[in-house]
Amino acid sequence: MTGRPVSGRVVVLTGGVGGAKLVLGLTRVVDPASITAIVNTGDDFRHLGLAISPDIDTLLYTLAGKSNRAQGWGREGESWSFMDALRSLGGEDWFAFGDGDLALHVLRSARLVQGETLSAITHDFARAWGIAVAMRPMSDDAITTHLATDAGELAFQDYFVARRCAPVVSAIRFEGASAARPAPGVLEAIADPDTQAILIAPSNPWLSVDPVLAVPGIRAALAAASAPVVAVTPIIAGEAVKGPTAKLMRELGLALTPATIAAHYDGVIDALLVDDRDRAADVPIAHAFADTLMTTLEDRARVAGAALALAASCRGR
């Protein structure tokens, strides 16, 4: 099921680091200019007056070859003079801005104040860095992920960065979602008859993909799309690749199985790419198996290729 060439366009719904790995893998198996990445902005927040879009930034750094792979976020070769000076002035330092990373936030903030949209700014940043993938925020309207926890209601960055995911989560909501509109090009890419596959990256389904699905119109567009929708499992051998997903699933009373992922995406996906290590699991949906762990660049291309092959097999049915 691998190696079948894909013509036409590919759409991928993605969150942060894990999603960016899949998108990077996709650029190695199809023409990057044929890819549209619809990116979660539920984690977006303001700090020190600056507009921060963590998942957009992670994808920018990853696709531009500037990401810090060891650290898992931010820029390779980053320096920290700003934070040193900020601390010396008594500024808050729970969120760390790298010196070069600040350019994204300062320039984005300045352009937003001038009335430009996040879509337009993201497009320009991607072009400036030679990124051929069409990067589209899920929405230009503010949607912010909030978590009900045993430490009270927390904004996403407070939970994720300041408290390092320690609080126990009982519910998640996406403030502003009901009034938000998909960003320009999002519904069009999903509905495009040239789109051959729509992938959901192995990002956290509850924290990174659900905000995208919460934007009015996106879920319906996926259901109506002629292209098959294929999710790549974030679960490998009964564990999540990244810690917070597993902890969150347990707190929500969910089994760490492909079946949970399939149920979560019920009505959205046509098929699930399941990890080889879960071949024994019950998967109540069309599926294929692959080694979905993405450590090397070759891994990323292989997983992207497997997901596209699964989509192609759905089209063939």
Contact set with a copy of itself (CB under 8 A): 48-50, 75, 78-79, 81-86, 88-91, 98-104, 106-107, 109-110, 113, 124-125, 128-129
Measured between alpha carbons, how far is 268 from 220 in angstroms, rounded to an integer? 9
User: What are residue 159's phi and psi, to 5 degrees?
Assistant: -65, -50
Q: Which of 86/285 has CB closer to a copy of itself?
A: 86
Least gap, CB of 47 to a copy of itself (angstroms): 8
Which C-beta is closer to a copy of itself: that of 84 or that of 298?
84
Helix residue spans in the chain (DSSP H): 17-29, 54-63, 81-88, 101-113, 118-128, 156-157, 186-191, 210-214, 218-224, 243-251, 258-264, 297-316
Q: Helix, strand, coil: what percent of the chain each, to 5?
A: 40, 20, 40
Determine the Cα–Cα distance for residues 138 and 230; give it in Å rounded to an integer.
18
50, 44 in Cβ contact below 8 A? no
Q: How far is the CB of 91 from a copy of itself (least distance, A)?
A: 5
- Beta carbon of residue 125, minimum distance to a copy of itself (angstroms, whole number): 6
Strand (E) or helix (H) holding 236: strand 235-236
Name the pairing type of β-strands 45-47 and 229-232.
unpaired
Give the residue with the Cβ less far from a copy of itself, 106 or 285. 106
Q: How far is the CB of 25 from a copy of itself (least distance, A)?
A: 24
Q: Closest distance between a copy of itself and the C-beta of residue 41, in Å?
A: 19
* Residue 86 or 168 having the CB closest to a copy of itself: 86
Cβ at position 182, least distance to a copy of itself in Å: 25
Q: Which is nearer to a copy of itself, 3 or 90 (CB)?
A: 90
Nearer to a copy of itself, 10 or 50 (CB): 50
